Amino acid sequence: MAVTNSKLDIDFDQYDTDAINKKDKAHFLHPWQIFDTFAEEGALPIAAAEGAYIYDSNGTRYLDAVGGLWCTNIGMGREEMADAIADQVRQMAYASPFVDMTNIPAATLSAKLAQLAPGDLDHVALSCGGSTAIDTAYRLIHFYQNCRGKHAKKHIISRVNSYHGSTYAAMSIGGKPGDHPPEFDYIQDTIHHISCPNYYRAEGDISEAAFLAAKLKELEDKILEVGPDKVAAFFAEPVFGAGGVIVPPTGYHRGTWEICQKYDVLYVSDEVVTAFGRLGHWFASKEVFDFQPDIICSAKGLTSGYQPLGATIYSSRIHDVISELGHGRCFTHGYTYSGHPVACAAALKNIEIMDREQLLPHVQDIGPYFQAQLQTLADLPIVGDVRGIGLMACVEFVKDKETKALFPEELDIGKWISNQADSKGLIVRPIVNLNVMSPPLIINRAQVDFIVNTLRESIVACIADLKQHGHF
C-alpha cells in the first residue's frame, strides 16, 4: 500500500507488521508495559506521521488526539524542523556542556526561555526530558537549602494522583497510586502527599468554595504537621495530566502559592504538559492561574517531540544564593546531553514556528470550541464527567451517573472505548476509567468535530457491548 500526498510518500508494503511485532515483543521493554496484556496483544507499530495524523505499519491513518504524549504541539513532518535539526547536526552534532564549555544553541535557548518565563525565572538547567527536569529541580532545592544552612528543610509535598516523571525521585514525588506498584521502591520519609483537588470526586454535599477552603487548609496543615523548618517545596502541575486532566477550583493555585509564601516553601510548577501553548500561553502558571512559581519544569512541547529536551527554569532568588562567590561551590549535577545542541536547535525552531504561526492565539480560539463540543458527550449514559481546559481534555466513564460509581477496574473501560476509537481512525489515551486527549495545537474545527463524533460512536458501541455481556 502506498500513501501519497504533498508531503507523505511512503510505501507501507515494505513493512512486515508481524515481524516488527515479533522483534518488539522479544526485545523492547515499553514504558508502563503490562506484561500479561502485552504478551497477548503486542503493540501498534507506528511507521509515519504528518500534521495531526499518524500511520501504522499497514498504512492505516489515525487522528492522534493524544498528540504523541502531550507533546506534538506543532504537528509532525515539518520540513523546516527537519532542516534545522539536520543543519545543526552537520555543523556540530554534540559539544560537552560541562564546567567551562557551552554551545551557541544552548546559550541562545536559555536566554529565550528566560525571556518567555514569568517574573525573575531567568536561569535554566537543561536536561533530557520532563523526568530529568523534575529530578534537577529536586536536587536544586536540596542544594539551595544547604547553601542557606537549612539542612533539615528537605521535605517535599505533592498531591495524590499527580504525575511528575519516571526517575526515582520524580516518581516518588508523583502520587498516582497505579504508578506505585509494590515491585518498585520509592522515597517515603521526606515526600508527602495531600489529596487531589478533584471537585467532581468530592465527598458529600459540599460547595466548591468549601471544597477549595478544605484543600487549602489541608496543605497548610501538612506544612505545620511536618514543620515549616523542614518543608522545602510544594510540587504541583497547574492541571493534572496523566492523573486525569483535573483542573483545580479557581483560586486553588493562588491560594496554595500564598501558603507557600507564608512558610518559606518553594513552589515548583510542573509545566511539562501545560507549557508551550497547551493552554494558549508559553507558560500557564502566571498567565492562566495567577501565581509566580520559584521553579518551572518544562519539556514535551518545548521541542514538539522532535528531540528529547527538558528545562528547569528557576528564579534569581535561588540563583543568587547558590552562586554566591567566595564559597568554592560546585553544582555537581547535569547530564552528558544537557544543552544538547541538536535538541536546543529544535527547540528554537519550534518556538519560532509557534510564534510565526500564532499558535497561542489559535489555541485560545479553538480551545473553547474543543471543550464545548466534548461537553455534548455528557448526555451519554456512561459519561460521568467531561473536563478540561485549552487543548487538554478528559472524559470519565461511570457505571452510575447519579452515584458516580465506577465500572470494575478489571473491565478497563477506558481501553475498551479507545479500542473502538482505534478501529475508527482515532487515537485517545485510556487510563482505566478515563479517555484523555491533548491534540496537536494545529488542530482545526473539522478535526475537533471528527474527534467528538468518533468518540461518541465509540462510546455508543461500547455501551452495546457492555449490555450484551451483562456489565451495564
Give the pLDDT confidence score for residue 4 in this predicted structure.
45
Domain termination site, one of 327, 356, 385: 356
Confirm if 270 and 298 have CB atoms less than 8 A apart: no
CATH code assigned at 60: 3.90.1150.10
Same domain, 155 and 19: no
What are the residue ranges of helices labelled H in 194-296?
Answer: 208-226, 252-262, 285-289
In 278-431, DSSP assigns E strands to 295-298, 310-314, 383-389, 392-397, 426-427, 429-431
- Closest C-alpha among 447, 397, 461 to residue 53: 447
Same domain, 147 and 238: yes
Same domain, 14 and 29: yes
Residue 7: partners with Cβ closer than 8 Å, 6 or more residues away: 50, 77, 79
Same domain, 402 and 457: yes
d(CA 311, CA 340): 12
Q: How many domains does the chain divide into? A: 2
User: CA-CA-CA-CA torsion for 158, 164, 167, 173, nearest 10 degrees?
Assistant: 10
d(CA 87, CA 106): 15
Domain termination site, one of 338, 356, 374: 356
Model confidence pLDDT, tens digit, residues 413-434: 999 999 999 999 999 999 999 9
Same domain, 185 and 323: yes
Same domain, 56 and 97: no
> Cell for 320?
543568587
CATH code assigned at 333: 3.40.640.10
Model confidence pLDDT, tens digit, residues 365-414: 999 999 999 999 999 999 999 999 999 999 999 999 999 999 999 999 99
User: Which residue bears the cell 536546543?
Assistant: 344
SS3 category, 238: coil
Q: Which amino acid type is present at position 175?
A: G
Same domain, 410 and 439: yes
Same domain, 311 and 367: no
C-alpha pair distances (Å), 369 with each of 157, 274, 362, 402, 446 = 35, 18, 11, 27, 11
For residue 157, give the DSSP letter. E
Same domain, 143 and 269: yes
Is the pTM of the predicted complex or chain greater than 0.85? yes
Same domain, 314 and 422: no
Domain holding 271, by residue range, is 81-356
Give the pLDDT confidence score for residue 9 in this predicted structure.
84
Residues of the chain predicted below pLDDT 70 = 1-7
Residue 379: partners with Cβ closer than 8 Å, 6 or more residues away: none
Domain termination site, one of 334, 356, 378: 356
Same domain, 255 and 165: yes
Same domain, 221 and 246: yes
> Cell for 196?
487531589
